[in-house]
Amino acid sequence: MESKTVITYGTFDMFHIGHLKLLQRAKEYGDKLIVAVSTDEFNEQKGKKTLISFAQRSEIVANIKCVDEVISENSWEQKPDDIKSYKVNTFLMGDDWKGKFDYLENLCNVVYVPRTEKISSTQLKKSLINFTSIPKEDILRAFEVIEVLKRDFE
C-alpha cells in the first residue's frame, strides 16, 4: 500500500494548542506529515512580526510527535513545487484560509479544517501587549496586596 503524504504551512509563532490540534488533524489524513514553517524573511515580506526565531519555531514543530518532517516556507509560490517534490496527496490548512488554495486541487486533495476556537497567535500577542502595558508599579502593588491577604488568611 502506498503511503499518503500531507503538507501544511504556517508561522507557528508562540506555539499553542490550536497549532497542536491543526497538526494532529493533518496527520489523520495521511501516513507522513510535512510542515512548512515560514522563515523570518518570508514573514517580514508578509508584514508579520514574530516573537520566536525561525530556527526555534522549526525545532519546536520538528519535535511534535505527529510531525515527520519540517521544511522552510520561503514564498507563496513554492507550494506547487513542494507538492510535486514531496509527492503530496493532501494539502491542509485551517478554514480561515478557505478557498485561498483551491488552485492546488489539480495537484492534490485540498482540505480546510476548523480552527480551534478562542485561541490564536494574534490573540496571544494582543494579550501580551495588554499585560506589558500595565505599569510596573501597579503590578508590584498587586503583589503586595496579595502578600497581605495571604498573611490575613494564615
99/46 Cα distance (integer angstroms): 19
Backbone angles phi, psi at 69, to 5 degrees: -155, 145
pTM over 0.85: no
Question: Catalytic pick from 21, 48, 84, 98?
Answer: 48
Span 77-104, mean pLDDT? 97
Contacts of 114 (CB under 8 A, 6+ apart): 94, 95
Query: Is 65 known to be catalytic?
Result: no
Question: Catalytic pick from 46, 49, 84, 100?
Answer: 46
Query: What are 44-71's pLDDT values in tens digits?
Result: 999 888 888 999 999 999 999 999 999 9
Query: Is 48 known to be catalytic?
Result: yes
Check pLDDT > 90 for residue 154.
no
Backbone angles phi, psi at 56, to 5 degrees: -70, -40
Report CA 142 to chain centroid distance, whole Å: 34
Check pLDDT > 90 for residue 31.
yes
Query: What are 95-148's pLDDT values in tens digits?
Result: 989 999 999 999 999 999 988 665 555 554 455 555 556 665 766 676 676 776
Q: Which CATH architecture has domain 5-116?
A: 3-Layer(aba) Sandwich (3.40)
Question: What are the structural domain ranges in the chain?
Answer: 5-116, 120-154
37/109 Cα distance (integer angstroms): 20
Cell (9 digits) for 68: 515527520
Backbone angles phi, psi at 132, to 5 degrees: -75, -10
